[in-house]
């Protein structure tokens, strides 16, 4: 297994720039997520790592070796696609053993290896069945088996669960993660589903418009987004932004939001102008006595919690509160925000302002 490092990688398709200069490192044995909306460049990035596309400029290192211009066949990686393509005329065992037989491995060795893989995937009893009649899950397991059987340096997966329905997806994502934990193989996984990324990833890269917006461990990215894009893309409902014109000095820890003073983590650089006050829904509290006011526009029951949509002087806001709290549409209420969790953003560029709380986490690509 291997460490993968990409350095200033860029990809142009004609005049279209698909990936801007990207740099990040995937450590040996990590489950690494490339996350972003469609068209953000995540699949192109993965395909460049795999050798299915060659970068326009920049370097790609697998296990210390620069492979940027090498074809896929010389990189010793395995690729699992969203649409699992199996050989329809072969049975399960033959599909899995195909890469080994191509390498000219002895019959006995192939049999042993396929047996081990089938065991890991729990498909021993269907080794002799044709792939035609298999369920979606079993087909995906066979496709995985064919990837795993070669013991490659890394696994690359492009939305491997995208075609499955929600319930089964949840199950397969757990299975994939457990499989990774048993084999501790370096895995790079592309998805547009933020929950899937949070759930499965050791680390996440968030991409948008061909650029890396943020890179780090899931909880850090959730707590301390580097940009407004990340703050909105991760979390459901997303982070709230209360827009205001104001200032904060170097070392300051208060801002004025519609004539109310709000405490925030100590600012490092200070700022002046159009700002956004970023707060996650679960850090908003409804408190009748609080001076900052909102009007309840809608409530959504979610079992243990409910989402309350409020109108404030600085824009709409969603709060996640206990479903036992009595909240009525049309009511006026006071709002407080947990001061330790606040991020200020430059409203124009969308970049987070550095504070004592997020300083260590804001690593850009």
Asked if 330 is part of the footprint of other proteins (rule: CB under 8 A), the reply reads: no
Q: Which CB, 130 or 237, lies closer to other proteins?
A: 237
Cα separation, 177 vs 31, in Å, equals: 8
Asked if 55 is part of the footprint of other proteins (rule: CB under 8 A), the reply reads: no
Among 21, 312, 323, 336, binds other proteins (CB under 8 A): 323
Residue owning tokens 């990040």: 24
Cα separation, 258 vs 167, in Å, equals: 45
CB of 154 vs other proteins, minimal distance in Å:
22
Q: Which CB, 145 or 216, lies closer to other proteins?
A: 216
* 327-329-334 Cα angle (round to 5): 60
Asked if 214 is part of the footprint of other proteins (rule: CB under 8 A), the reply reads: no
CB of 31 vs other proteins, minimal distance in Å:
12
In angstroms, the Cα distances linking 140 to 14, 134, 146, 167, 171 are: 35, 10, 10, 15, 12
- Give which of 354, 358, 361 is closest to 269, Cα–Cα: 354
Among 19, 60, 62, 198, binds other proteins (CB under 8 A): 198
Asked if 304 is part of the footprint of other proteins (rule: CB under 8 A), the reply reads: yes
Cα separation, 105 vs 95, in Å, equals: 15
CB of 313 vs other proteins, minimal distance in Å:
21
Asked if 307 is part of the footprint of other proteins (rule: CB under 8 A), the reply reads: yes
Asked if 235 is part of the footprint of other proteins (rule: CB under 8 A), the reply reads: yes
Which of left, alpha, beta for 273 (phi over 0: left; psi -120 to 50: alpha)?
A: left
Residues 6+ positions from 103 with CB-CB distance below 8 Å: 150
Question: Which parts of 161-190 interact with other proteins (CB under 8 A)?
Answer: 165-167, 174, 177, 181
Q: Which stretch binds other proteins (CB under 8 A): 10-18, 54-62, 115-123, 299-307?
A: 299-307
3-class state of residue 48 by DSSP: helix
Q: Which CB, 47 or 203, lies closer to other proteins?
A: 203
Q: Which two tokens stand for residue 125?
A: 């009893």
- Give which of 266, 270, 310 is closest to 290, Cα–Cα: 310
Q: Which CB, 112 or 171, lies closer to other proteins?
A: 171
Residues that bind other proteins (CB under 8 A): 165-167, 174, 177, 181, 195, 198-199, 217-219, 222-223, 234-238, 280-282, 298, 300-304, 307, 309, 320, 323
């Amino acid at each position: 297994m291997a460490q993968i490092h990409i350095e200033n990688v860029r990809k142009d398709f004609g005049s279209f720039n698909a990936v801007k200069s990207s740099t990040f490192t995937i450590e040996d044995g990590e489950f690494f997520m490339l996350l972003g909306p469609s068209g953000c460049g995540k699949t192109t990035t993965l395909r460049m790592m795999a050798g299915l596309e060659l970068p326009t400029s920049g370097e790609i290192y697998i296990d210390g070796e620069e492979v940027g211009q090498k074809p896929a066949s010389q990189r010793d990686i395995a690729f699992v696609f969203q649409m699992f393509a199996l050989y329809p005329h072969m049975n399960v065992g033959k599909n899995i053993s195909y890469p080994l037989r191509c390498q000219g491995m002895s019959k006995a060795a192939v049999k042993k290896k396929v047996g081990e893989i089938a065991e890991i995937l729990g498909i021993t009893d269907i080794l002799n069945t044709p792939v035609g009649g298999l369920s979606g899950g079993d087909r995906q397991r066979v496709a995985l088996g064919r990837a795993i059987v070669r013991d490659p340096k890394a696994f690359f997966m492009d939305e491997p669960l995208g075609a499955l329905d929600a319930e089964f997806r949840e199950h397969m994502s757990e299975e994939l993660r457990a499989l990774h934990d048993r084999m501790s193989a370096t895995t790079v996984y592309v998805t547009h589903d933020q929950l899937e990324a949070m759930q499965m990833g050791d680390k996440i890269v968030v991409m948008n418009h061909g650029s890396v917006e943020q890179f780090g461990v899931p909880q850090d990215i959730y707590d301390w987004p580097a940009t407004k894009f990340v703050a909105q893309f991760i979390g459901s409902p997303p982070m709230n932004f209360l827009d205001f014109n104001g200032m904060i000095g170097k070392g300051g820890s208060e801002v004025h939001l519609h004539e109310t003073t709000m405490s925030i983590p100590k600012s490092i650089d200070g700022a002046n102008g159009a700002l956004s006050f970023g707060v996650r829904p679960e850090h908003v509290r409804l408190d009748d006595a609080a001076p900052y006011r909102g009007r309840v526009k809608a409530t959504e029951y979610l079992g243990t919690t409910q989402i309350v949509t409020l109108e404030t002087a600085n824009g709409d806001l969603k709060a996640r509160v206990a479903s036992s709290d009595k909240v009525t549409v049309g009511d006026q209420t006071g709002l407080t925000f947990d001061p330790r969790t606040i991020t200020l953003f430059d409203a124009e560029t969308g970049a987070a302002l550095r504070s004592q709380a997020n300083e260590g986490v804001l690593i850009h690509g």
